[in-house]
Structure 1
Amino acid sequence: MNGLKNGVILLFNFAKIQAACCLFPLAVFATLAITRGLTFPNIPRYDLIFVILLVFQVLMVKLKFETLEELKIICLFHILGLILEIFKVNISHSWTYPEPAYLKIWNVPFYSGFMYASVGSYVVQSWKKLQLNVEYWPPLGLSFGLSTVLYLNFFTNYFFHDLRYFIILAIVLIFWRTQFTFCINGRKRYKMKALFSFALIGFFIYIAENIASFFNAYRYPNQAETWHLVGFGKMSSWFLLVIVSIVLVVNLKLKQSSRENKLIKKTR
């Protein structure tokens, strides 16, 4: 019975930490939910969402939840997401933004990048709050190269063959031994396979995408008349995209750790 009780407490504490890591994603959902169905004089809803999330991002840095170095990675993911949105909306016509906006580029509102940035923010917060470390991480060049090919495939698959299943096979081979270690409330370290964490985060982002589309953040073609669940195939897309975010954050943290270790050696 004690083992079950301890397991429940551990799971509860882990869930609490995860909720704290989701500060930015929760802000995105709250903003989408609160503004849905409301009209605002002189400012379109999508523009208001952008302003609210921009202020929230600034506060995250001002209140020391994120450093400037971490902000750079989050902003990069924001830009990568915005570029992908422009392509998917205008070239492959995968989804649309049904509401008007002044702050938009090629039919894509600027706020859309924050949905990708929130994923980067989650990874950054998880690294700190769970005291994450990584074992058997692939070399920097290999992980960056794989994430680059992975990202580019979201564009090239419209013109050529979709290589995602070959890329997933490469991911399995490259990250097979990789695992994350983490702490819950400063206690003993636990381990999780990187592949499992990629899939788990991708699954929860898929759920988040259903919530976002329900709040009219954007619409897929099958949601034009009424809301439906997003196709399950999108889970593989998020599985892949989340790897880009994790690779950026982990490589940043490993480089920082390397610099700190070199500095310690020099001061001895």
Structure 2
Amino acid sequence: MKRFTSVEAVIDAAAHGVLDRLPARGFYGAAVEFLVFGLKQGWACLFGGAMLVLILGTKFWWPEQAILARYDFLFLAALAIQLAMLGFKLETISEAKVILVFHIVGTAMELFKTSAGSWIYPEDAFFRIGGVPLFSGFMYAAVGSYLARVSRIFDMRYTRYPPLWATAMLAAAIYVNFFAHHFTVDIRYGLFAATALIYLRTTVHYRVFRFRHRMPLLLGFLLVSLFIWFAENIGTWSRAWIYPSQSEGWTPVSIHKLGAWYLLMIISFVLVTLVHRPQAMAQIEPGPAPQRL
């Protein structure tokens, strides 16, 4: 898997030209790793971050009598962002494919969940299927975009990664349960246990700037899910979508939704691994011992 696009390679070379002048160890070395970690995370979130800015911006500055509905603007803007990211080589073709798959998978779930009353979109839209505006699929795609980009940008490698067939079966079971629990027993706690069992021994190794670091993959899943939960609070506060409990006024999204995002993020991660196959960490490159973050 190619680690950087041509534009990212230029940015990386420029960063090395400046930051390599600082000591590799001690306070400055740690500060550089922390700074680059944050910048790369922001870069990996480029699409999702842009969508969140647009959602917040239209919350404050969208005229009530505008000819174009807010949701339609968000849909057209998401398309424009995708084309721009491809055109300016900020995203790879494989990542665009991941986003398309996530849009389809997410929209299918949205159609079912809104019909079941799990949440609603309170505003009108022309670009929609039933009660689901098409921009909503891009919110799922933003998760897929982040996972695909972060895997590439941080050159993620794995030790003791489970067989792909096991992860695919887990993802399929999670996706089915999102629908089936409305009609039968909710098995999410069993799915939590299965996730822990499958990924318990897996460690992800990622390169920040000079060094590789490592983290239990389950911890990584939890941190990403928590970030998504925070983003969902922003989205519902802006009334891009709302839960029934928020119809009379905004309240924070229940912490119990963190579990749903955790499971959905597992689906997202597995779908990404079908495009960017997990690479084994055969050996750590020469240099300082791996760091924990």
TM-score, normalised to structure 1's length?
0.90
Corresponding pairs, count: 254
For 1:214-233, list aligned pairs within 5 A. 214-233=237-256
- Pick aligned residue for 2:212 from 180, 189, 201: 189
1:13, CA displacement in angstroms?
Answer: 2.0
Aligned counterparts of 1:71 and 1:241: Cα–Cα separation in 2: 19
User: 1:138 aligned to 2:162?
Assistant: yes
Aligned residues of 2:114 and 2:120 also touching (Cα < 8 A): yes
User: 1:171 aligned to 2:195?
Assistant: yes
Deviations 1:230-262 (A, max 9, x none): 00000001111111111111232128x79xxxx
For 1:51-90, list aligned pairs within 5 A. 51-90=76-115
- Pick aligned residue for 1:21 from 36, 44, 59: 44
> Could you say which structure has the higher helix fraction?
1
Aligned residues of 2:148 and 2:276 also touching (Cα < 8 A): no
Partner residue, 1:125: 149
Opposite residue 157 of structure 1, the aligned amino acid is H
- Pick aligned residue for 1:95 from 119, 124, 143: 119
Partner residue, 2:70: 45
For 1:249-260, list aligned pairs within 5 A. 249-254=272-277
Partner residue, 1:12: 35
Aligned residues of 2:95 and 2:149 also touching (Cα < 8 A): no
User: 1:238 aligned to 2:272?
Assistant: no
**More displaced stretch, 10-19 vs 37-46:** 37-46
Deviations 1:19-56 (A, max 9, x none): 11110111111111111141263211100110001110
Aligned residues of 2:98 and 2:148 also touching (Cα < 8 A): no
Deviations 1:125-169 (A, max 9, x none): 101211111222211211111101111110000000111100110
- Indicate the SS of the match to 2:68: coil
1:3, CA displacement in angstroms?
Answer: 4.4
User: 1:161 aligned to 2:161?
Assistant: no
What percent identity do the matched residue pairs reach? 36
- Indicate the SS of the match to 1:254: coil
Opposite residue 167 of structure 2, the aligned amino acid is S
Opposite residue 66 of structure 1, the aligned amino acid is E
Aligned counterparts of 1:65 and 1:149: Cα–Cα separation in 2: 34
Partner residue, 1:264: none
Deviations 1:69-126 (A, max 9, x none): 22212211111111111111112x0111000001111201000000000011111110
Aligned counterparts of 1:49 and 1:207: Cα–Cα separation in 2: 20
**More displaced stretch, 226-235 vs 123-132:** 123-132
Structure 2 runs not aligned, ≥5 long? 1-24, 281-293
Opposite residue 121 of structure 2, the aligned amino acid is Y
Aligned residues of 2:177 and 2:186 also touching (Cα < 8 A): yes
Aligned counterparts of 1:125 and 1:250: Cα–Cα separation in 2: 12
- Indicate the SS of the match to 2:213: strand
- Indicate the SS of the match to 2:51: helix
- Indicate the SS of the match to 2:277: helix
Aligned counterparts of 1:72 and 1:216: Cα–Cα separation in 2: 29
- Indicate the SS of the match to 1:161: coil
